[in-house]
């Protein structure tokens, strides 16, 4: 039996063992920290994407060569 063949009963058994070993309070605080980490990661990804879009927009604003600008 490999790791891919655990199934629902095996997962429930693992969940019960983890709950008994660590206790409910420790698991909930750990999940809270995981949630905060995921939120911070998503915020960072969104800010990084916006920064790249702003940079690309600034570079694409004016592509007219300098000598052509004087003619306008």
Higher pLDDT, 34 or 71: 34
Euclidean distance between CA atoms 50 and 53, whole angstroms: 5
Question: Interhelix angle for 7-22 vs 24-60, to 10°?
Answer: 110
Measured CA to CA, the distance from residue 19 to residue 72 in angstroms comes to 73
Looking at the whole model, is its pTM more than 0.75? Answer: no
The count of residues in the chain is 72
Output the average pLDDT for the chain: 81
Instruction: Give the tens place of pLDDT for each residue, 38-50.
Output: 999 999 999 988 8
| CB neighbourhood size of 27 (10 A) | 14
């Amino acid at each position: 039996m490999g790791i891919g063949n655990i199934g629902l009963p095996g997962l429930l058994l693992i969940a019960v063992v983890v709950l008994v070993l660590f206790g409910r309070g420790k698991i909930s605080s750990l999940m809270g920290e995981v949630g905060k980490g995921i939120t911070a990661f998503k915020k960072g990804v969104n800010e990084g994407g916006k920064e790249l879009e702003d940079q690309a927009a600034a570079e694409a604003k004016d592509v007219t060569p300098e000598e052509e600008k004087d003619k306008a």
